[in-house]
Amino acid sequence: MSLRVGETETIRLPGRSAVGYAWTAVVSAAEAAVVDVTEAPAVGGDTAPPGASREHAFVLSARRPGKAIVHFEQRRPWEEDAEPLEARDVEVVVDP
C-alpha cells in the first residue's frame, strides 16, 4: 500500500466476533513513527442482526516517509498461546 504523509486508508477485515474472534494490529516500535494504526468503529454497527459477526476496520495514518509492516492477527483474546485463526501483513510505503 502506498500513502503520502497525512493520508489515511481504511483496512477492512472479515469478522468472526460471534464466536469470540477479534483482530489486533501491531506495528514495531521503530516503524510506529511511519504509520499509526487505530481501530475504527465496527462495520455494520446497529444494522447487523443480533449475533451476526461484523467486519473489523483499522485506519492507517501516514505520519512520515518510510516503510512499515502492519501485522494483523485474528484470535480469541483468552487463547494467548494458540495460533491465530488468520494473520495478514500489510506493507505500507509512505512518500513525502
Which residue, 13, 11, 15, 12, is CA-closest to 76?
Answer: 15
* pLDDT given at position 15: 84
Beta bridge partners of 75: 22
pLDDT in tens, 41-92: 765 555 655 556 678 899 999 999 999 999 999 999 899 899 999 999 999 9
User: With contact defined as beta carbons under 8 Å apart, do 86 and 75 qualify?
Assistant: no
Question: What are the residues whose beta carbons fall under 8 Å from the beta carbon of 79, sequence distance 6 or more?
Answer: none
Please report the domains of the chain, with CATH numbers, ordered by start residue. 2-95 (2.60.40.2020)
Query: pTM, whole model, 2 decimals?
Result: 0.84
74 — phi, psi (to 5°)?
A: -110, 120
